[in-house]
Amino acid sequence: MAYIGVSPSNGVRRVHTYTATASQTTFSGAGAEGTSLSYKDSNFVDVYQNGIKLGDADYTSTSGTSIVLAQGASVNDLVVVVVFDVFSVADTVSKADGGTFDGAVTLAGGVSGNTTFSGDIGVGDDVNLTSDSSQITFGADSEVILAHTADTGLTLQGSGLNTNFSLLAFHTTDGTVPDLRLGKSSSNTVGTFAETANGESLGQIRFTGQDSNDAIRSGGAIAVDQTASSTGSTVPSAMKFSTTGSEAMRILSDGDIAINATTTSTSGFSAAHLRIDTDSSKNSMIVSSQRQNQVAYGVHADGSSGTRYALYILNGAGGEVGKIYYTSSATTYATTSDYRLKENISYDFDATTRLKQLKPCRFNFTTDEDNNVVDGFLAHEVSSIVPEAILGEKDATKEDGSIAPQSIDQAKLVPLLVKTIQELEARITALENAE
């Protein structure tokens, strides 16, 4: 029975033409038109044999893919099956009970409410999630959630390894690399752009944890701030590294590294200032501080002349135990020797006897390919005489079995040498006076 309605343009009419063989009763598959026979409802199928429309008793149409004649056709009979699909009950979804679409569906007006998709989803235009509580879940047990909230923005939430986020560049040999960008424009209009200004934050990556009050707290962050007006091709900026909620280190626009400082320039630091450069002509590393004329702890004066302090060495309590400083022509490595830091001071000891126990020798290092002979000591032979000059234990090894070498600070032998000279000078003077 053909469909007759007020909107025939909404219907689908498919014609399947078959040339019968002798006594053929079943007609299915592709007809002369090349389209396989299928229908949803037998009430919307018309069958013609040699141009004569057959009645319902003349054929059976129940399988959805074939027509079976009640009486076999003659050879070369022309059997035409006309299928009308205007409105299929199987492709309707109840608003109250829900349902399933058998084929592809185009939703021009959008989707609202909880919607479950299986199989591939093709997106032709923009996808908008308009509710503050909108979310998309992934995985068989919905273990990963992509959600947007008014307070935190777009979040990807999961548990364990399900929180991994990967950017992979496969199937390419042209140098393409994964590229994650955090971009900023000063325009308030979506789709338009405006120059960013000095002092603006260009983006940050935050690492958060949850405190004992179930509040989300910042544990650390990496942020980039613009530090000057942009040029035609660059945006001057500094990169900040924060831990425990406060800034710990900053890389300035010229490459300087500021530790425990919040300045954006290379001068006027309130704490340490470390710069590491590579001199292309000498292939060397330079560490400097731009400090000079220390008056007291925490008080420095910047400049390019006089004494400049490159490095302070502190003990576990924060007290100074040494420093490296330099002028325009020399570098000094100093260890702390202030009398206010010493006690049990004695000038009466026998240096000569101890000095005579030292065994100066000549040798070359096994790693020296040129076997250059030098003067020095064997560390273990000095350790019992001037133990403060030696670091490490004799024959010690590392976990991998390699040598853990002993070290010697030969400067620690100087007091013994000076005291011995004084003792010798006293004996010489005594002999001279006895003559």
Decide which of 59, 90, 121 is a domain's last residue.
90
Residues 167 and 227 in one domain: no
DSSP 8-state class, residue 94 = B
Q: Say which residues have a Cβ less than 8 Å from residue 91's Cβ, sequence separation at least 6.
A: 101, 102, 103
Separation CA 264–CA 249 (nearest Å):
11
Task: Read off the pLDDT band of 435 (50, 70, 90).
Answer: confident
> Over the stretch 337-365, which tens digit does the pLDDT of each residue have?
999 999 999 999 999 999 999 999 999 99
Separation CA 261–CA 325 (nearest Å):
21
CA 93 to chain centre: 45
Q: Residue 2: inside a domain, yes or no? A: no
**Closest to 150 in 3D by CA, of 135, 136, 131:** 131
Residues 138 and 223 in one domain: no
Whole-number pLDDT of residue 131: 57
Q: Residue 74: inside a domain, yes or no? A: yes
> Over the stretch 404-421, which tens digit does the pLDDT of each residue have?
999 999 999 999 999 999
Q: Is 18 exposed, middle or buried (0-12, 13-18, 19+ CB in 10 A)?
A: buried
Of the given ranges (7-16, 90-99, 251-260, 292-301), which has the lowest mean pLDDT? Answer: 292-301
Q: Residue 191: inside a domain, yes or no? A: no
Q: Is 372 exposed, middle or buried (0-12, 13-18, 19+ CB in 10 A)?
A: exposed
CA triple 112-117-120, angle to 5 deg? 125
- Between residues 388 and 138, which one has the greater pLDDT? 388
Residues 251 and 282 in one domain: yes
**Mean pLDDT over each residue of the chain, to the nearest integer:** 80
DSSP 8-state class, residue 174 = S
Separation CA 47–CA 59 (nearest Å):
8
Whole-number pLDDT of residue 353: 96
Extract the runs of DSSP E, i.e. beta strands, from 290-420.
291-296, 299-302, 308-314, 320-326, 331-335, 361-363, 374-376, 390-391, 407-408
Residues 428 and 305 in one domain: no
Residues 225 and 334 in one domain: yes
Whole-number pLDDT of residue 21: 93
Whole-number pLDDT of residue 188: 84
CATH number for the domain spanning 56: value is 2.60.40
Q: Which of 39-43, 79-83, 95-99, 119-123 has the highest mean pLDDT?
A: 79-83
Whole-number pLDDT of residue 302: 41
For 237, the 3-state DSSP assignment is strand
Region 96-113: mean pLDDT is: 68
Whole-number pLDDT of residue 283: 34
**Closest to 16 in 3D by CA, of 78, 73, 82, 62:** 82
Separation CA 330–CA 91 (nearest Å):
89
Q: Using a CB cutoff of 8 Å and minimum separation of 24, what contacts does 50-55 make?
A: 50/77, 50/78, 51/78
For 381, the 3-state DSSP assignment is helix
CA 36 to chain centre: 54
**Closest to 227 in 3D by CA, of 248, 205, 256, 206:** 256
Of the given ranges (221-225, 274-278, 284-288, 371-375), which has the lowest mean pLDDT? Answer: 284-288
Q: Residue 109: inside a domain, yes or no? A: no
Q: Using DSSP bridges, classify how beta strands 390-391 and 257-259 pair: parallel, antiparallel or unpaired.
A: unpaired
162 φ/ψ sector (left φ>0, alpha ψ -120 to 50, else beta): alpha
Q: In what order do the strands lie in the sheet with 59-60?
A: 26-28, 66-69, 59-60
Task: Read off the pLDDT band of 268 (50, 70, 90).
Answer: very low
For 285, the 3-state DSSP assignment is strand
Residues 361 and 408 in one domain: yes
Region 97-112: mean pLDDT is: 68
| Token pair recorded at residue 384 | 């019992």
Residues 361 and 335 in one domain: no
Whole-number pLDDT of residue 280: 40
Q: Residue 276: inside a domain, yes or no? A: yes
pTM: 0.46
Decide which of 90, 121, 153 is a domain's last residue.
90
Q: Say which residues have a Cβ less than 8 Å from residue 386's Cβ, sequence separation at least 6.
A: 354, 358, 412, 413, 416
Whole-number pLDDT of residue 278: 41
Domain that residue 369 falls in:
351-434
> Over the stretch 29-53, which tens digit does the pLDDT of each residue have?
999 999 899 988 888 899 999 999 9
Q: Residue 113: inside a domain, yes or no? A: no
Domains identified in the chain, total number: 4
Report in angstroms the alpha-carbon separations of 18 from 28, 30, 73.
9, 9, 11
For 421, the 3-state DSSP assignment is helix
Which sign, positive or negative, has the C-alpha torsion 158, 161, 163, 167?
negative
For 379, the 3-state DSSP assignment is helix
- Asked if residue 410 lies in contact with residue 376, where contact means CB atoms within 8 angstroms, the answer is yes
What backbone phi and psi angles, to 5 degrees, belong to 57? -80, -15
Alpha helices per DSSP H over 101-229: none
Residues 315 and 218 in one domain: yes
Task: Read off the pLDDT band of 303 (50, 70, 90).
Answer: very low
Of the given ranges (165-174, 180-189, 273-282), which has the lowest mean pLDDT? Answer: 273-282
290 φ/ψ sector (left φ>0, alpha ψ -120 to 50, else beta): left
Residues 381 and 262 in one domain: no
Bridge partner residues of 274 (DSSP):
257
Residues 333 and 207 in one domain: yes
Bridge partner residues of 194 (DSSP):
none
